[in-house]
Chain A
Amino acid sequence: MDKAKMVKIYRKMLEIRFFEEKVFELYGQNLVPGTIHLYAGQEAVAVGVCENLREDDYIVSTHRGHGHCIAKGAKLDKTMAEILGKKTGYCKGKGGSMHIADFSIGMLGATAVVGAGLPIATGAGLSIKLRGTDQVVACFFGDGASNQGTFHEAINIAAIWKLPVLFVCENNLYAMGTCQTQVMLLKDIAKRASAYGIPGVSVNGNNVLDIFEVAQEAGKRARNHEGPTLIECKTYRHKGHSRFDPATYRPKEEVKAWLEQDPLHQFKKWLLEAGNVETTYLDQIEKQVITAIESAVKFAKDSPYPDPHEALEDVHAEWR
């Protein structure tokens, strides 16, 4: 990997982290309606996967989706505006935090029904196969979603038809407050891949370079018409499930141990020690990211809310 790519990965991870910290802050100021599911702590997954994707590749996202959007190249200002419910947001304020989409960059949208994205990703893969292009789809979902029937149905179909899909399970150990050990006997969700006759890989979800490599391999397989791969990224969310969930169901030692494995800090350390990147250069990037996010916040705050009657628009397509 060249230096420019490494720095780009760092910048993306930083954008997500600072973006989420800003969303949390705005939420505290009552500027974000509804609820939020923050991606902080899981940045390595979205960035490690999406850095293998082209603009015409697709991703399918979840309720915890801000990081996926940013990693795929969504604009910070339109993303922030959508989260604030503004007219200038990606979905004109109709979707909000849990339903951001940008079809111009292959971001096929976030579904807030746990597990519902997997069949949609399979369908995008089928579409690619039928159109005969070499695009791929990355489908993000959590450990909780891997217990839905759609996980079984969608991966099986993708497997039998050899569809170009990367099923990326972000195992952050908790489905809301329910620990993985309460709801499955397997330690490694990736082992479920063998039930469908496809490769399954468990990877350190806090190590962006490891994820990048695994996703690169899965991407090659997909583009070579060899079918889907199940990638389990073992990671941890820094905040609670949603809003002000204090996540007291997580043991303190566990939280401490994971925070010490912060994906962003680890990668920064690696860049400085092994990647031959100067501190001053990273500081400069940090400043640029802060400025970009401040500008996105300003855009979102200054934008108008939608006109109430717009609630009636966009239900149906225009009739041909």
Chain B
Amino acid sequence: MREITYRDALREALSEEMQKDETVFLLGEDIGRCWEGAFKVTKGLAEKFGDERVRDTPISESAIVGAAVGAAITGMHPIVEIMFGDLTTLAMDQIANQAAKIRYMFGGQVEVPLVVRTPFGGGVNIAAHHSQSLEAWFMHIPGLLVALPSTPYDAKGLLKTAIRGGDPVMFCEHKLLYPIKGLIPDEDYTVPFGVAEVRSEGKDVTIFATSFMIHKALEAARMLKKEGVSVEVMDPRTLVPLDKAKLISSVQKTGRLVIVSEGCKTAGVTAEIAAVVAEEAIDYLDAPIKRVAEPDTPIPFSPPLERYVLPNEKRIIKAVREII
């Protein structure tokens, strides 16, 4: 095992899969040798694999994803980087109407092995156009898979699974996770989709959290432990497919559920998870489900304003206390 950052873990996955499979290539804005990615995930890759396989593109999100779709259905394995998750909106037709539907619409004739990597999330004071978390949009489009790695181990393992699969994957990274460190094995490994991970075992309450919020949930769990509250923290790792069985069995054990996710509350990730549990496991609940998400506002710029809207450990603790 060795300790590396989330950013380096992503880069290792890209590099190893490109080494292994020459149909794998990268395209996106400023990912090549001049800039090496807005968050430096592709640093050194153009040097190593050349400008043909690490392609800088014009600022044309719709055509970038569309070109990746066209390449994916003709024998290649493109990996797109969209510089900020907010900008996936510019490519939404190609994501939602083309990539997601081509396999189905054409009766299963073809696979669309396409990965769209993009960073979501707030916390770095870059306001409403660079801070959203839109993963719920993608959950709503049948045909897409949605991954949200929260650790370097998962970043590498899930990305490899995404690249080796045959489906379009919205690979949702988080700006604040890039520098975090974690242990990964030296040998090749993958992390399967649809298998949740219990990050901390507990018996009084389940906190279901995604992406960077896992770390806030773990912090909250540590603080609650001092008060004698035993918290189970569950990380779904992929929202599509969703590991419903593990979620429900945790709720069965604890009887209480707090759901934490960036992205606004209405019709968001927390809403869907609450609905799943309400529909399939309401009898196990001893208290109302609590949701910790962003209020229904755009992400504001000024630090005190942004801090106010983003979920944090205090809000998670408050939600837990309300149902304990």
Contacts and interface: CB of A to CB of B under 8 A. Distances in A.
Interface of A: 58, 60, 89-95, 99, 101-103, 108-109, 111, 113, 116, 118-128, 130-131, 149-150, 153-154, 156-157, 160, 313-320
Contacts of A124: 70-71, 73-74
A108 B98 contact: no
B62 interface: yes
Interface residues of A: mostly helix, strand, loop or mixed?
Answer: mixed
Nearest to B72: A123
Contact of B71 (A90, A126, A315, A316): A126
Of A93, A111, A160, which is in contact with the most chain B CB atoms at under 10 Å from its CB?
A111
| Chain A CB within 10 A, most for which of B58, B104, B164, B166 | B104
A65 to B, nearest CB: 12
Contacts of B65: 119
Contacts of A149: 62
Contacts of B25: 130
Interface stretch (B108-116, B172-180, B277-285): B108-116
B60 A156 contact: yes
B161 to A, nearest CB: 9
9 contacts: A60-B70, A90-B107, A91-B107, A116-B93, A118-B63, A127-B70, A131-B76, A153-B66, A317-B113
A293 B154 CA distance: 55
A239 to B, nearest CB: 24
B57 A92 contact: no
A123 B99 CA distance: 12
Nearest to A125: B70
Contacts of B93: 113, 116, 150
Interface in B94-110: 94, 97-98, 102-110
A149 B94 CA distance: 13
A25 B165 CA distance: 44
Contact of B108 (A92, A102, A118, A154): A92
Nearest to A156: B58
Contact of B106 (A99, A123, A313, A320): A99
Interface in B61-87: 62-76, 78
